[in-house]
Amino acid sequence: MDPLARTPKPPYYAVVFTSVRTGADAEGYAATAARMVELAAAQPGFLGIESTRGADGVGITVSYWDSLDSIRRWQQHVEHLLAQEKGRSTWYARFRLRVCRVERDHDFEADA
């Protein structure tokens, strides 16, 4: 997967999810995280995803969507709701989620 999402011309929408892991259940977390990326990518209106986590347990995942409605549907997806529940009970010490409208963007690629 390309680490930089190939999103269309703005405007579109972004969900910025910043989290601190508890450290508990690393295997279960990794499996569900991978499944959620796969599932999100299959939803209507999904445009792309970028995600990274540092050695300090701080992670940022940004998913991109065509509309607020698509974001709402994804947040209510039954399998995603179960993952959110497990996130609150086990995987995350803290998180902050922000829903944004992307107004403009800019790309850079170094000469090969």
Q: What is the CA radius of gyration of the chain?
A: 15
Of 63, 73, 65, nearest in space to 45 by CA: 65
Which one among 38, 42, 78, 96 touches a copy of itself, defined by CB under 8 A? Answer: 96
Q: How far is the CB of 35 from a copy of itself (least distance, A)?
A: 19
Cis ω for the linkage preceding 44 (within 30 of 0): no
Torsion, Cα of 51, 56, 57, 59 (10° steps): -20
- Residues numbered 30-69 forming contacts with a copy of itself, rule: CB under 8 A: 50-56, 58-60, 62, 68
Which one among 18, 33, 45, 77 touches a copy of itself, defined by CB under 8 A? Answer: 18
Q: Count residues near a copy of itself (CB under 8 A).
A: 42
- Would you say 55 and 21 are in contact if contact means Cβ atoms under 8 Å apart? no
Using the rule CB under 8 A, is 101 a contact of a copy of itself?
yes
At position 111, the amino acid (one-letter code) is D
Q: How far is 43 from 26, CA to CA, in rounded Å?
A: 26
Identify which of residues 78 and 108 has a Cβ nearer to a copy of itself in the complex: 108
Residues within the interface to a copy of itself (CB under 8 A): 3-5, 7, 10, 14, 16, 18, 20, 22, 50-56, 58-60, 62, 68, 88, 92-110
